[in-house]
Amino acid sequence: MINKAETVAKFLRISPVAITATLCLSLLNACATQPGVGATETALRRLYGEPHLAIRLDSGARWFYTSGPLGVTTYAVDMNKDGIAERVQNVLTDTMLEKIGAGITAEAVLASIGPPYRQVRFNNLGATAWDYRYRDIWGYAVEFSVMVGDKYGVTSTVSRRIDAIRNEH
């Protein structure tokens, strides 16, 4: 009886051992290049590059990886003092953004949801709008703006849907 590897090998004129070895190495490599909880700083940097923002915490550090100016995710990676990832989560969610409100410091916003994709200065208001994009609980793309005053931190927030078609994924 001919197994699937032998059939593929005959079709491609490659030995079954070479196909099996290639598949095994591919699977091992895939497992090794998906850092998450338990990943080291080195593994994260190798796969994702330098974080877009790194904040020191008493417990270690929080790294932020954004999906770019048109992306809708920002992942926070909480690292312990030994440089091991203890938690990885998307912080641009309805639940996280509901916590951002008037009176919160700019530093607390950055530590919670990471860097904005855009900043717009309003000199007449003495404030800067920090804009974030994310997908809401219904799957719509949303732009969330945080008004950060020069003296008192967050003064207000506003959000608006930026597409009329839900993400069905």
pLDDT single digits (tens) 89-139: 999 999 999 999 999 999 999 999 999 999 999 999 999 999 999 999 999
- Among 33, 133, 19, CA closest to 74: 133
- Highest mean pLDDT range out of 34-38, 64-68, 86-90? 86-90
CA 116, CA 131: separation in Å to the nearest integer? 5
Predicted pLDDT of residue 167? 59
Predicted pLDDT of residue 33? 33
| CB distance 121 to 91 below 8 Å | no
pLDDT classification of 26: cutoffs 50, 70, 90: very low
Instruction: Calculate mean pLDDT across residues 83-88.
Output: 95
β-bridge mates for residue 64, sequence order: 53, 76
